[in-house]
Every structure is written in C-alpha cells, then in structure tokens.
Amino acid sequence: MAFNPECLGRRYEAGPQIVDRERHRAYLNAVWQGADWEPSRPLATFASVYLLWPIVPLLFSDPEVDLDLPRLLHGEQDFWFDRPIRFGEQLTPRGEITRAEERRGMVFLELTCKGQDEEGRDVAHSRSLFLVRSAT
C-alpha cells in the first residue's frame, strides 16, 4: 500500500497526561546533566512533549495513512502556548493531519496538535511537518 493523501483531516486523541514533576526532573537531568535548579513551572520544551508523544505513534502506526517510516524526515516544528502549563495539570492531547500531499515524489505531511485542560480549553499547540523521501 502507498501513502494515502486522502488522510487529510484524520484526527487522533490520546488519553489525558499529567504534567508530572518527576518526569520533568528526569528531563532536566537528561538534557542538562546535573541541573541543580528546579523551575516553578515546566519548561516549554518539556510541556510540548505532552502534546506530541502520545499522538505521533498513533499517526505513524495508522494503516490508513501508510507512511514509509524508514524514509521519514522531521522537517519543521513549532510550539505555542495560550497560557503557562502547571505541574499536576492534566492535558488531553489531540492531533489532526492538516496537510497531506505528494509533490515531486515526496510526501509532505503536517500534524497539528493541541493540549486541552480538564475544562476542554486549549492550552498548548504544536505543528510538525514530516517529509517522506521517495524510494527511487
């Protein structure tokens, strides 16, 4: 089966994610080894992971999209926030394919995600552009 450009508009939802201090501390230690500071709010780079991590595997394993993962390149990434994210907060990640096209033998696939709080308000957003190189 080949890439399905009719996947435009497909939506994904993952279960709620708790913005956890321990996971944040592990992130700090992995990225800034030996970090001896504790921010009062999660770093934006860490908080954005809560949007993508549960959604991207759903996209990559979706047989209705059929991406050729060994040829996939991560092209662009943007994040923006409606307000600061807090520790202990529960966010529900949702994603949608907002671009799906083939040009010159390459697939361009854009995934837009948002994290919603327990009241259903958008809190954080991301946009990822994935490129899949041609097999020839």
- pLDDT, mean of each 10-residue run, the chain (136 residues): 87 94 86 78 83 91 93 93 94 97 92 96 95 84
Instruction: Write out the H or E segment, with its range, that includes residue 45.
Output: helix 44-52
Confirm whether 1 is domain-assigned. no
The model carries a pTM of 0.88
Task: Measure CA 118 to chain center.
Answer: 19
pLDDT score for 90: 95
User: What pLDDT shows up at residue 28?
Assistant: 83
DSSP letter for 136, please: -
Q: What is the pLDDT of residue 33?
A: 79
Residue 101 lies in a domain: yes
| φ/ψ (deg, to 5) at 115 | -110, 130
Q: Are 49 and 43 in contact (CB under 8 A)?
A: no
- Residue 78 belongs to a domain: yes
Beta bridge partners of 90: 18
CA geometry: angle at 93 spanning 120 and 102, to 5°? 125
16 occurs within a structural domain: yes
Which CATH number characterizes residue 83's domain?
3.10.129.10
Q: How far is CA 5 from CA 55, 67, 79, in A?
A: 19, 10, 25
108 is in which domain, residue-wise? 8-132
Q: Answer yes or no: is 2 within a domain.
A: no
The predicted pLDDT at position 121 comes to 96
Q: How far apart are CA 125 and CA 118, in angstroms?
A: 16
